[in-house]
Amino acid sequence: MNHRLVPTPAGRIHLVEQGEGPLVLLVHGFPESWYSWRHQLPALAAAGYRAVAVDVRGYGRSSKPGEVAAYRMLELVEDNVAMVRALGEETAVVVGHDWGSPIAANSALIRPDVFTAVALLSVPYSPPGGSRPTEAFARMGGDEEFYISYFQEPGRAEAEIEPDVRGWLAGIYAALSADTMPGPDRPAPGFVARGGRMRDRFPAGRLPSWLSEDDLDVYAAEFERTGLSTALNRYRNMDRDWEDLAPWEGAPVVQPSLFIGGAKDATTLWLSRAIDAHPTTLPGLVASHLLDDCGHWVQQERASEVNQLLIGWLDGLKR
């Protein structure tokens, strides 16, 4: 794997590439890094693709602008376009997981001249529009607080996470993995009791099967070095995104697309209507898969199956 730093509007973006062929840009979510694609890079390279996994701005070895507004969606789309150009290409397929999924979808929506196809993992496509996000999330919480609302105030979530980054990461990875997530009789980890912390509802005692101690060390080392503020700033721009993306309200992503989610992922339950709407919002949808006994971290929990689905879809784009 070849590590590089390339110029973008963020300053510099760190990326890891492997293989030769059509460019496939892999965009991670929270709280992850390029490392979440470690199983896909060699598989895509072996299948004849130039696979590139990035550290999104604010993560890992990429630049970390100081202002919260620097992490708005339009800025991240510009980063993706700049990376394609810096890699000497005109077009790319873009694949995203978790927050990387809406980043990938909006890259395809706003710059269809650059991003010719899009694969979305865990988070389905929802067109811009609807209610102001922070108001919608406040309603979701009821007597508790939805985690996205909990992340809004700068410094608040950081105060919970940063004293024990490794322990917090182990907890959230376990909370959202099929083999370690709390049972249906336990309080949902995506909500926070008033006056409580997210980690109060994380399971303890063992790591999910897909995550080794060494893997956890990689993730923890990056966030211990960088802190969490610049990663959490993505959540703090959702109202700005709602305003910025108003010109695309209700717009479908028309390029060939793929969706892969976990059947046990709370995200696919919360956003089930968005998945049902994909024939309209993703008219180029080639296939949609919900993997049984799989949680949120699909490309790590079910690496071989996701690799097979991605490569089959990519190969189909050539026909």
Please, are residues 211 and 299 in contact by the beta-carbon 8 Å criterion?
A: no
Nearest CA to 50 out of 88, 19, 25 is that of 19
Residue 5: alpha-carbon gap to chain centroid: 21
Cα–Cα separations (whole angstroms), residue 210 to 176, 206, 207: 12, 11, 8
- Cα–Cα distance for residue pair 316/67, rounded to 1 Å: 41
- Cα–Cα distance for residue pair 236/283, rounded to 1 Å: 30
Helix (H) or strand (E) holding 233: none
- Cα–Cα distance for residue pair 79/183, rounded to 1 Å: 39
Give a three-class secondary structure readout of 182-206: CCCCCCCCCEECCCCCHHHHCCCCC
- Cα–Cα distance for residue pair 57/147, rounded to 1 Å: 22
Q: Which residues sit opposite 146 in a β-bridge?
A: 191
- Cα–Cα distance for residue pair 231/32, rounded to 1 Å: 9
Radius of gyration of the chain, Cα coordinates, nearest whole angstrom = 18
Based on the residue annotation, tell me whether 98 is a catalytic residue of this protein.
Answer: yes
DSSP assignment letter at 178:
T
Q: Per the residue annotation, which of 98, 241, 244, 265 is the catalytic one?
A: 98
Based on the residue annotation, tell me whether 278 is a catalytic residue of this protein.
Answer: no
Q: Rounded to a whole number, what is the distance in angstroms from the first to the last CA of the chain?
A: 28
- Cα–Cα distance for residue pair 312/292, rounded to 1 Å: 19
Q: Catalytic residue numbers?
A: 98, 296
